[in-house]
Amino acid sequence: MISTYVLFYNKLFKQMFEWGLVPQKFIVVSGGVLSGIGKGVATASIGKILQQYGFSVTAIKIDPYINCDAGTLRPTEHGEVWVTDDGGEIDQDLGNYERFLNIRIPKKNNITTGQVYKTIIDKERSGEYLGKTVQFIPHVPDEIKKRVISAADGFDIALIEIGGTIGDYENIPFLFAMKSLERELGRENVAYILVTYLPTPSHIGEPKTKPTQQAIKTLGESGIFPDFILCRGKDPLDDVRKKKIEIFANINSDCVISAPDVPSVYSIPLNFEKEKLGEKIMKRLQLEPKQKPDWTTWNQLLHNIENPTNSIKIAIIGKYVDTGNYCLQDSYISIGESLKHAAAHSAAGIEISWIDSKKYETGEETIKNLHEFDGIIVPGGFGASGVEGKITTIKFCRENNIPYLGLCYGLQLAVVEFARHACNLELAHTTEVVENTPHPVIDLQPAQKEILAQRAYGASMRLGAYCAVLNPESNVFKLYEQASRIVQKNNLTALEEFRKGILNDDKQVVVERHRHRYEVNPKYVDVLEKNGLIFSGHHLRNDDTKLMEYIELKNHPFFVGTQAHPEFLSSIEHPSPIFMGFVKACVERKEKRN
């Protein structure tokens, strides 16, 4: 009798699913034991698996800090600031989601404590609570749920990653809100995943499960019991330890998933699939697969990453490299990933050296060491520190035919270098560093000066997706064309549309994300062009100002600068055209030298 009911229910459910009547599903990912163990990548990997089963997936990052966004956070403290199409300055985990899921995520998918409280306080001040006492419960969880539901709207499945570690005070309201979401939507629509770490102390030599047991217990204080535990650790988790977690934490060992360190993060979805995580999650959420996964392309790309036919050496000459005794690469994570994406498509291996530009401010000898690299990148940056070292680096690349890629500040300083050494404008500079330089080749636009005069720093940046028109003769155009990244103006997405600027009659544009204040000074474009600098693309603003977006040089294997951050639109399946061009030039230099 019971089995007839089950059969009937399953059939009905299948039918509902086909009619699109199955409710939206939520997967909440939290972390235990310690931070920085790869919750973001785990979340992105789960999303990828579910995409492969045919679901539309989005991902939401909750950052429990009080900042309203990551815009004012120091990269050495918090890693890279990720930029969305709609101008959000966000935690770098959104980058992981986009790189894996190949979707464009808006800024509302990042929720912080600051945003939640600001909204509640603003509402209270404007009398929207109609005289009620405004309290932590229910108003804070309600605001959190509202934001989660709005970000999840339109997708089959939303993954919600809660930043920080279980046990942090600031996590509590978010866990409470998720539990409340489960109560409202039903247990079958919300699943919980805990990502933990199993340390292997060297004197013991085996992975210890106790911190994981404690994390499960702490999570229980919020009424949440994890459906799956992803066990991070140096090595794969064996059955003995899985059983131990089963017994001590009362979770079926089938739901304890091994998540060992791997050379490439792009192998993680495949590792999870070996343990049938996708099927298990679908079962838990009462979902039927919409399609059979096809990992062929992904596997091929991963194969290329793991078995490169060539190996190139790239130096990233930046500022935010050292903190104390440690070298922090997180502040440029998207650049490293974009290089890997391009390399995966060129079957090249990449060795990246992160070098502090100050090193090249001390004389000719050190700079010659750069000869050993196949390509050099000067990434984005702010302020005066290390700037002369970057300019020396750029001059060296220009004069010695070393492939050069300048990203944002890397374009601006390439313009400064060219002005100084190829146009005879000896003291040329950016006014960001020398305000009264006689040749302000990089300068603020008048409108931005006004904003800055009012100390409204947060509002003075050109942020988010902007369109550029490219010169069809340029190398940059060819790169975008090869990657099918030239878009028809009337095909822009809603997010891109709002920053498109006035583009006269140009019908074809390219879109990249931006995060900067200063621009190439239009007054110097002529003299720079006359001396051989090519401006290969521009953005035309409503007030008719032409903002230069790309530079390149003739008779150089690869010398390209962009005012944009193409690293924010690169994914493993669709690498950035600019990075593809750069990596290709590096491979060619390497082959020539062999």
Interface with ligand GLN, residue 390, by CB under 6 A: no
What's the distance, Cα to Cα, between the start and end of the chain in Å? 75
Instruction: Give which of 65, 117, 56 is closest to 91, Cα–Cα.
Output: 65
To the nearest whole angstrom, how small is the minimum distance from the Cβ of residue 526 to ligand GLN? 22
Among 1-9, 106-114, 120-128, 380-388, which window interacts with ligand GLN (CB under 6 A)?
380-388
- Residue 251's region, left for phi above 0, alpha for psi from -120 to 50, else beta, is beta
Among 21-29, 62-70, 375-383, 578-586, which window interacts with ligand GLN (CB under 6 A)?
375-383
Interface with ligand GLN, residue 439, by CB under 6 A: no
To the nearest whole angstrom, how small is the minimum distance from the Cβ of residue 444 to ligand GLN? 8
CB closer to ligand GLN out of 413 and 467? 413
Contact pick of 38, 380, 389, 440 for ligand GLN (by CB under 6 A) = 380
Residue 36 neighbours by CB under 8 Å, 6+ apart: none
CB closer to ligand GLN out of 49 and 394? 394
Binding mask 253-272 for ligand GLN (x = CB under 6 A): --------------------
Establish whether 231 is a catalytic residue. no
Instruction: Give which of 97, 168, 122, 111 is closest to 145, Cα–Cα.
Output: 111
d(CA 35, CA 18): 40
CB closer to ligand GLN out of 75 and 403? 75
Sign, CA dihedral 67-73-77-79, equals positive
CB closer to ligand GLN out of 517 and 590? 517
Interface with ligand GLN, residue 429, by CB under 6 A: no
For residue 435, the tally of other CB atoms under 10 A from its CB is 11
CB closer to ligand GLN out of 13 and 382? 382
Among 64-72, 137-145, 171-179, 404-412, which window interacts with ligand GLN (CB under 6 A)?
404-412
Residue 459 neighbours by CB under 8 Å, 6+ apart: 451
To the nearest whole angstrom, how small is the minimum distance from the Cβ of residue 515 to ligand GLN? 5
Of the residues 408, 423, 467, 586, only one is catalytic, namely: 408
Interface with ligand GLN, residue 382, by CB under 6 A: yes
Interface with ligand GLN, residue 448, by CB under 6 A: no
Degrees, nearest 5: CA angle 294-299-302: 150
In whole angstroms, how far apart are CA 130 and each of 67, 115, 126, 139, 142? Answer: 28, 21, 9, 13, 16
Binding mask 552-591 for ligand GLN (x = CB under 6 A): ----------------------------------------
Establish whether 408 is a catalytic residue. yes
Contact pick of 516, 539, 556, 590 for ligand GLN (by CB under 6 A) = 516
In whole angstroms, how far apart are CA 481 and each of 473, 486, 562, 580? Answer: 11, 6, 16, 12
Establish whether 429 is a catalytic residue. no
Contact pick of 517, 539, 556, 590 for ligand GLN (by CB under 6 A) = 517
Q: At 467, which amino acid appears?
A: C
CB closer to ligand GLN out of 103 and 452? 452
Interface with ligand GLN, residue 248, by CB under 6 A: no
Interface with ligand GLN, residue 518, by CB under 6 A: yes
DSSP state letter for 96: H
Contact pick of 69, 80, 432, 512 for ligand GLN (by CB under 6 A) = 432
Interface with ligand GLN, residue 381, by CB under 6 A: yes
CB closer to ligand GLN out of 17 and 382? 382
CB closer to ligand GLN out of 463 and 511? 463
To the nearest whole angstrom, how small is the minimum distance from the Cβ of residue 321 to ligand GLN? 15
Q: At 242, which amino acid appears?
A: K
Helical ranges in 454-546 per DSSP H: 475-482, 494-497, 525-530
Of the residues 139, 439, 556, 565, only one is catalytic, namely: 565
Among 28-36, 229-237, 307-315, 374-382, which window interacts with ligand GLN (CB under 6 A)?
374-382
Q: Assess whether the previous peptide bond of 138 is cis (omega < 30° from 0).
A: yes
Q: How many residues does the chain have?
A: 594
CB closer to ligand GLN out of 350 and 408? 408
Do 509 and 467 form a contact (C-beta atoms < 8 A)? yes
Do 429 and 500 form a contact (C-beta atoms < 8 A)? no
Binding mask 340-359 for ligand GLN (x = CB under 6 A): --------------------
To the nearest whole angstrom, how small is the minimum distance from the Cβ of residue 461 to ligand GLN? 7
Sign, CA dihedral 482-487-493-497, equals positive
Provide DSSP, 535-590. Answer: EEEEEE-TTSPEEEEEEEESSSS-EEEESS-GGGG--SSS--HHHHHHHHHHHHHH
The pair phi, psi for residue 197, each rounded to 5°, is -130, 135
Instruction: Give which of 28, 22, 502 is closest to 222, Cα–Cα.
Output: 28
To the nearest whole angstrom, how small is the minimum distance from the Cβ of residue 259 to ligand GLN? 34
Q: Which two three-digit tokens encode residue 495? A: 């997010």
Interface with ligand GLN, residue 409, by CB under 6 A: yes
Interface with ligand GLN, residue 515, by CB under 6 A: yes
To the nearest whole angstrom, how small is the minimum distance from the Cβ of residue 512 to ligand GLN? 12
Q: Which two three-digit tokens encode residue 112? A: 């912080």
- Residue 408's region, left for phi above 0, alpha for psi from -120 to 50, else beta, is left
Among 104-112, 321-329, 365-373, 376-384, which window interacts with ligand GLN (CB under 6 A)?
376-384
Interface with ligand GLN, residue 73, by CB under 6 A: no
Residues belonging to the active site: 408, 565, 567
What residue ranges bind ligand GLN (CB under 6 A)?
380-382, 408-409, 412, 432, 515-518
